[in-house]
Homo-oligomer: A and B are copies of this chain.
Amino acid sequence: MVVRNKATIADVARVAGVSTATAGRVLGGYGYTSDEMKDQVQKAARQLGYRPNALARGLITGKTRTLGVVAGDIQNPFYASVLRGISNVAEADGFGLLITNSDESRSKEVQSVELLAQKQVDGLIVTPSDTRKARHLHNLLSMEIPLVLIDRAVAGLSVDRVAADNIAAGEQAVRHLFEAGHRRIGIIAELVEDEGDGLAAFLARAASGDPMEAEALYPSWQRLLGYVRAHRIAGVAVDPRLVFRAGSYSAEAAQVGVPLLLGLSDPPTALFTTDGTMSEGAMRAITALNLSIPRDLSLVCFDDLDWMSFMQPGISTMSQPRLAMGEAAARMLLERIQGENCPPRTVLLPAELISRGSVLRRVLDPAV
């Protein structure tokens, strides 16, 4: 049972006194075999400690039962949860998971995709780092390797994807603040990439009600769009000075935004932070400034990170279903691998407002 050198089907066949074809049939679970043969072969296999070689099987069947994932950074709670979701459904179907990090860099992503393709994964789940240039992803399609996108879309790449409904989420977060009586609401957003003609132009177009091509926007831009829409609904003009663009994806970059916004001559009474990392940065600044929430500042964050529920007071936030996003993506990918042939699907999962204690109800000044 405990055997040093790995036994092959040929070894098992020899011991069982049958052909390799027959041994393969019972061990591989394909074709027909008599019960008698089955017993013999299984006994021999057990005796030799036979373990199928997935490489050989994959080489001949053209299927590896392995999924490839290109995540931004496993260490980030967003990706960690998404990965767990993917893992849950992959595992249930006996699929393995080959995981890489792109660190949101296009070149690392290209490298990852190449590695995974060489390892012959049956399909790929990617959070694309560039929503424009994605030849490596188009290549995948032309090689008929199924692909599912998470979190971001790629312009012109028509494939299955799952994301949070970011526009609606941004709108709901800010509407919540308006309903509590806030009128000057700051937003701290990543907004790394340029969308068109810069931030000012984007705000102007969005405020004018221009039905923009919002599908392929980066999530932070979509959430900003929701922020603008909530303003339109509330009949309040967007003040561009209240929009803080971190410009890089880090808590440190977000952190500097808080004092900047609060230093305005007419400072905001509330803040909306557009993702987990931005929220963390803002929180650091709030702690450093010794501000009391919600007395000095109201706050709605994004992503339900563990600390938000046990801060004092609890932090209200838009919770996106990270686990479910991963699960949905994996399920769609598995369907494609099994031959599903319908047109590309876009699954937008709603984020949920979790209302805790970080929003102050303001009595509106009747003069305003």
Contacts and interface: CB of A to CB of B under 8 A. Distances in A.
A58 interface: yes
A52 B59 CA distance: 12
A34 interface: no
9 contacts: A4-B144, A55-B58, A56-B59, A74-B87, A77-B77, A96-B100, A96-B116, A280-B310, A290-B312
**Copies of this chain, whole number:** 2
A338 interface: no
Contacts of A59: 53, 55-56, 59
Contacts of A51: 114, 117-118
Most chain B CB neighbours (cut-off 10 Å) among A98, A116, A312: A312
Interface in A281-334: 283-284, 286-287, 290, 305-307, 309-312, 314
B52 A118 contact: yes
B100 A97 contact: yes
A6 to B, nearest CB: 7
Contacts of A101: 84, 87, 91
A107 to B, nearest CB: 13
B97 A54 contact: no
A119 B54 contact: yes
A313 to B, nearest CB: 9
Contacts of A55: 55, 58-59, 64, 119-120
A166 interface: no
Nearest to A255: B310
A356 to B, nearest CB: 11
Interface in A1-20: 2-4, 6
